[in-house]
Chain A
Amino acid sequence: MTQLETSSFDRSLLLLVPATLFMIVLFVYPFLYGLQLSFRPAEGGWLANYAKFFATDNLWGTIGTTLKLAVPATVINLGVALPIAYQMRNKSRYQKWITTLLVIPLTLGTVLIAQGMLGYFGPKGWLSQALQFLHIYDDPIRLTHNYWGVLISLIISGFPFAFLLTLSYITGIDPTLPRAAATLGASPWNQFRHIYLPLLVPGLAMAFALSFVQAFSVFPSAVLLGSPAGATRVISIAAYEAAFEQYDYSMASAVAMVMGLVQLVVVVAILSARGMFYRGPVSGGKG
Chain B
Amino acid sequence: MTSNFSELRLDRVTRRFGGGKGAHHFTALDALSMTIRRGEFIALLGPSGCGKSTALNCIAGLLPVSDGGIWLDDTRIDVLPPEKRGFGMVFQNYALFPHMSVARNVAFGLTMRGLPGGEINQRVQRALDLVQLNAHAQKLPGQLSGGQQQRVAIARAIVIEPPLVLMDEPLSNLDAKLRLEMRAEIRRIHRELGRSTIYVTHDQDEALSLADRVVVMKDGVAQQIAEPLAIYSEPANLHVARFMGYRNLLPMNLRSTDGAFATLEAGGFALRARAMQPLGTGQCVVAIRPEEFEIVAEGGENTFTAQVSNVEYCGRDNIVDVQTAAGLKLIVRTDARLRAGDTIVLAIAPDRALAYPDDGAGASA
> Complex formed: what's the CA distance from A190 to B92 in Å?
23
Considering only CB atoms and an 8 Å cut-off, how many residues of chain B contact the other chain?
35
Q: For A181, list chain B residues within 8 Å (CB).
A: 97, 108, 112
Whether A278 pairs with B108 at a CB distance below 8 angstroms is no
| A260 on interface, CB distance cutoff 8 Å | no
Cα(A247)–Cα(B345), bound, Å: 106
In the complex with contacts A285-B149, A286-B146, A286-B173, A182-B83 CB distance below 8 A: yes
- The total of chain A residues at the interface (CB under 8 A) is 27
Q: Which residues of B contact A195 (CB under 8 A)?
A: 97
Query: Given B89, B93, B96, B141, which contacts A183 in the complex, CB threshold below 8 Å?
Result: B89
Q: A184 and B156 in contact (CB under 8 A), knowing A281-B142, A285-B149, A287-B173?
A: yes
A280 CA to B91 CA, complexed, in Å? 20
Question: Of residues 153 to 200 in A, which have CB atoms within 8 Å of B's CB atoms?
Answer: 174, 176-177, 179-187, 190, 194-195, 198-199
Say whether B82 contacts A285, CB under 8 Å: no
Within the assembled complex, what's the spacing in Å between the Cα atoms of A184 and B141?
17
Name A's interface SS. loop
User: In the complex, which residue of chain B has the Cβ closest to the Cβ of A178?
Assistant: B95
Among residues of A, the one whose C-beta sits closest to the C-beta of B57 is A179
Q: Verify if B99 is at the interface (C-beta below 8 Å from A).
A: yes
Partner of B98 from A183, A194, A280 at Cβ < 8 Å: A280
* CB nearest neighbor in B for A287: B93
Contacts of A190 in B (CB 8 A): 112
Distance, CA A181 to CA B112, complexed state (A): 9
1/0 contact string of A188-221 vs chain B (CB within 8 Å): 0010001100110000000000000000000000
Bound form: Cα–Cα A285–B174 in Å: 12
Is A280 in contact with B94, judged by CB distance below 8 angstroms? Answer: no
Chain A residues with CB under 8 Å of B91's CB are: 176, 179-180, 284-285
Q: Which residues of B contact A283 (CB under 8 A)?
A: 93, 98
B51 within 8 A of A: no
Residues of B within 8 A of A183 (CB): 60-62, 82-83, 85, 87-89, 157, 166
Asked if A267 is at the interface of the complex by the 8 Å CB criterion, the answer is no
- Find residues 239-258 in chain A having any chain B CB closer than 8 Å to their own CB: none
Q: A282 to B146, alpha carbons, bound, how many Å? A: 16
Name the contact of A284 in the complex, choosing from B60, B89, B93 (C-beta under 8 A): B93
A182 touches B62 (CB 8 A): yes
Contact with A along B69-104 (1 / 0, CB 8 A): 000000000000111011111011111111100000
Q: Which residue of B lies closest to A278 (CB)?
A: B99
Q: Which residue of A lies closest to B162 (CB)?
A: A183
> Looking at B89, B91, B113, which has the most chain A CB atoms within 10 Å of its CB?
B91
Evaluate whether A285 and B141 lie within 8 angstroms (CB atoms) in the complex, with A181-B97, A184-B156, A184-B160 already known: yes
- Complex CA–CA separation, A179 to B92 (angstroms): 12
- Distance between B19 CB and nearest chain A CB, rounded to angstroms: 10
In the complex, which residues of chain A have a beta carbon less than 8 angstroms from the beta carbon of B133? none
Question: Nearest chain-B residue to A173 (Cβ)?
Answer: B98
Contact B98 A199 (CB under 8 A): yes
The closest CB in chain A to the CB of B60 belongs to: A183
List of A residues within 8 angstroms of B157 by Cβ? 183
Q: Residue among A184, A198, A278 with the most chain B CB within 10 A?
A: A184
CB distance from A273 to the nearest CB of B (A): 16
The interface residues of chain B lying within 8 Å CB-to-CB of A176 are 91, 93, 95
Q: Which of B129-151 contact A (CB under 8 A)?
A: 140-142, 146, 149
Cβ-closest chain B residue relative to A180: B95
Which residues in A have their C-beta under 8 angstroms from that of B98?
177, 199, 278, 280-284
A199 to B140, CA, bound (A): 14
Beta-carbon contact of A285 and B153 below 8 Å = yes
Q: Does B109 have its Cβ within 8 Å of any Cβ on chain A?
A: yes
Q: How far, in angstroms, from A179 to B109 measured CA to CA in the complex?
A: 12
B149 contacts across to A, CB distance below 8 A: 285-286
Given A278-B99, A280-B99, verify A185-B142 contact (CB < 8 Å): no
Interface centre among A176, A177, A284, A287 (most CB of B within 10 A): A284
Q: Are B96 and A185 in contact (CB under 8 A)?
A: no
**What are the residues of chain A within 8 A of B62 when measuring CB–CB?**
179, 182-183
Nearest chain-A residue to B84 (Cβ)?
A185
Bound CA span A194–B322, Å: 61
**B298, chain A: closest CB distance, angstroms:** 55
* Complex contact B97–A182 (CB within 8 A): no
When the two chains form their complex, are residues A184 and B95 in contact, meaning their CB atoms are under 8 A apart? no
Closest 7 CB pairs of A and B: A285-B94, A287-B93, A184-B109, A278-B99, A284-B95, A180-B95, A185-B112
Query: CB within 8 Å of A: which residues of B?
Result: 60-62, 81-83, 85-89, 91-99, 108-109, 112-113, 140-142, 146, 149, 153, 156-157, 160, 166, 173
Return 6 A-B CB contacts under 8 Å, by A number: A176-B93, A179-B95, A180-B95, A181-B108, A182-B81, A284-B93
Chain A positions near chain B (C-beta within 8 angstroms): 174, 176-177, 179-187, 190, 194-195, 198-199, 277-278, 280-287
List 9 extra interface pairs beyond A186-B83, A280-B98, CB under 8 A: A177-B97, A180-B89, A182-B62, A183-B88, A184-B156, A185-B109, A194-B97, A198-B99, A280-B140
